[in-house]
Amino acid sequence: MTDKLKQLPPAILTLDDKSYSLPTLIGAEGEKAIDISKLRSQSHYVTLDEGYGNTASCESAITYIDGEKGILRYRGYPIEELAEHSRFVEVAYLLLNGELPNSQQLLEFSTNLNESSIIHEDMHHFFNGFPRGSHPMGILATMVASLSTFYPIPDRLDTATEQQIVINLISQVRTIAAFSYKKSIGEPLVYPSYKLKYVRNFLNMMFSSPVRDYQLDDDIVRAIDMFLILHADHEQNCSTSSVRTAGSSMANVYAVASAGISALWGPRHGGANQQVIQMLEQIHADGGDGTEFINQAKDKNSSSRLMGFGHRVYKNFDPRATVLKKQCDKLFDKAGVSDPLFDIARKLEEIALKDDYFISRKLYPNVDFYSGLILRAAGIPTNMYTVLFAIGRMPGWLAHWREMLHGEQVIITRPRQIYVGEPLRRYQDIEQRP
Ligand code: SDX
């Protein structure tokens, strides 16, 4: 336990006429916790908390969220200030190192990212092995895991090697994503260029071509950079918890990052941004304003959900959604850039926020509700939206992996369970079975 946690008077738990004194703690922002790490050994009781919504899996100094107040800070800095004043590469440095870089540190970090953006030439053949139409998240998870075969990791990681592997991953995840897109449309690969910064390099790899001049639009570059900042970390979400769990077995960092990518793919997590656009496209195709869809989303007998709404932690506006909506306003106010889906999204939000079903359940727009519109404006294909989320989240995953690895001790994640299956019974030969 770090010295940042302060002790409070113990909690007294009475079980089977016995009292147990459980330590209680308070975090840097006043969150209170009961330390149950010795509960089972003392009382033979375990706690049950499906989805861990009431359970802190670790102490962390990386990101702070207050779901009731709609607060999100990376290393103490409000997300709104980072989104407005910072850039993704600087935020990645902040998440990984705990402090904003000075000019020299930022230049070195940015240059290293650029110099690490190439993947091994022999990896290009892997792309040919995926069936046409393969989902880019399946390709990304596979290719990131395969980095461990081309760049074997030594058993004992010194600091410099660990830092370089982290930089390689943050840089190469972009290259793998762009290459998978080029392969999917049968166009030649466009290599990263040392002349271009992180986001410009990615967009250039995605959209430039030997036969077509591709002009980078500054507003689109800024919007994608901000998208990546807003997705860079989010404390112990599903994919980051998967990273910490895989990392706790001391699996190599490429396998750990691949675990994060796989968990993120789910439609209830990172896959929601793709689902939001598909939902908006369907409403647009049906010619409605969304009222009918909202009624379906409220209907217990319908499997429909208002994608991009609701959150395990935010019971107020997701601050990222507020920033992204402003960014959409700016982007779509530009001459010639309009999107009927943005109008539908705003109408859906307006209707839902007046509807008691959503109000009573504290369901507000989350990061995914507007993010897809930014990617759409950039020309990113819908099936790559969650890939962009993964590119953004990579620094956060790796910051948590490193925080766990360098904690006081690496404890392998191994929750208990409540068994509700069959009592003891004896094996029967097949002839004796009914
Ligand atoms: C991300 O954890 C993170 O930090 C994640 C993330 C990150 O940065 O890593 O923020 C990214 O994953 C954002 C969430 C993206 N997912 C979606 O937008 C999918 C749609 N949202 C829902 O699936 C849902 O809101 C969740 C999964 C996000 C949260 O689910 P909860 O908190 O477990 O809520 P619940 O399933 O217990 O639902 C509570 C009630 C239920 O109704 P009742 O049983 O009380 O009648 O709210 C309803 C739900 O049916 N509900 C919705 C709804 N979300 C919840 N009803 C309609 N539409 C929705 N979107």
Domain coordinates of the chain in residue numbers? 6-56, 79-269+382-406, 271-378
pTM, two decimal places: 0.94
CATH superfamily of the 79-269+382-406 domain = Citrate Synthase, domain 1 (1.10.580.10)
Q: Cβ atoms within 10 A of the Cβ of 85, count?
A: 9
**Residue that the structure tokens 């016995």 belong to:** 18
Q: How far apart are CA 294 and CA 290, in angstroms?
A: 6
Q: 311: CA distance to ligand 1 center in Å?
A: 5
Classify residue 232 as exposed, middle or buried by CB count within 10 Å of its CB (0-12, 13-18, 19+): buried
pLDDT of 335 reads 60
Question: Please, which residues have CB within 8 angstroms of residue 293's CB and are 6 or more apart in sequence?
Answer: 279, 282, 283, 304, 306, 348
pLDDT at 421: 97
Q: How confident is the model at residue 2, as a pLDDT?
A: 63
Which segments of 151-286 does DSSP mark as H helices, in order?
Answer: 159-184, 198-207, 218-230, 238-248, 253-264, 272-286
Q: How far is the CA of 312 from the centre of ligand 1 (A)?
A: 6
Beta strands in 35-106 (DSSP E): 63-66, 71-74, 77-78
Identify any residues that bridge with 209 across adjacent strands, giving them in sequence order.
Answer: 212
How far is 336 from 173, CA to CA, in rounded Å?
32
Q: What is the pLDDT of residue 1?
A: 59
The DSSP code for 25 is E
Using an 8 Å Cβ cutoff, are 65 and 313 in contact? yes
Mutate which of 57, 236, 269 for ligand 1 pocket (most atoms within 8 A of beta carbon): 269
pLDDT at 289: 78
**Residue pLDDT tens, the chain, 434 long:** 566 789 999 999 999 999 999 999 999 999 999 999 999 999 999 999 999 999 999 999 999 999 999 999 999 999 999 999 999 999 999 999 999 999 999 999 999 999 999 999 999 999 999 999 999 999 999 999 999 999 988 888 899 999 999 999 999 999 999 999 999 999 999 999 999 999 999 999 999 999 988 999 999 999 999 999 999 999 999 999 999 999 999 999 999 999 999 999 999 999 899 999 999 999 999 998 788 899 999 999 998 899 999 999 999 999 999 999 999 988 888 766 778 999 999 999 999 999 999 999 999 999 999 999 999 999 999 999 999 999 999 999 999 999 999 998 999 999 999 999 999 999 999 999 99
The predicted pLDDT at position 266 comes to: 94
- Alpha-carbon gap, residue 317 to 324, rounded angstroms: 12
**Distance from the CA of 382 to the center of ligand 1, in angstroms?**
21
Backbone angles phi, psi at 123, to 5 degrees: -75, -20
DSSP string, 157-171: --HHHHHHHHHHHHH
Query: What gap in Å lies between CA 400 and CA 396, rounded to an integer?
Result: 6
Q: Which pair of structure tokens corresponds to residue 337?
A: 């850039």
Q: Which fold has domain 271-378?
A: Cytochrome p450-Terp; domain 2 (1.10.230)
Nearest to 35, CA basis, from 2, 10, 63: 10
Q: Are 253 and 169 in contact (CB under 8 A)?
A: yes
Q: Using alpha carbons only, how large is the chain's radius of gyration in Å?
A: 24
- How far apart are the CA of 325 and the centre of ligand 1, in A? 19
Give the domain 6-56 fold.
Rubrerythrin, domain 2 (2.20.28)
368 is an active site residue: yes
Structure tokens at 403: 């925080």
| CA-based nearest residue to 232, from 377, 90, 39, 114 | 90
What ligand 1 atom has the least distance to the C-alpha of 238?
A: 2
> How far, in Å, CA of 317 to CA of 111, rounded?
37
Q: Which residues line ligand 1 (CB under 6 A)?
A: 234, 237-238, 268-269, 272, 297, 305-313, 361, 363, 366-368
* Residues paired with 32 in a beta bridge: 26
Judge whether 234 counts as a catalytic residue: no
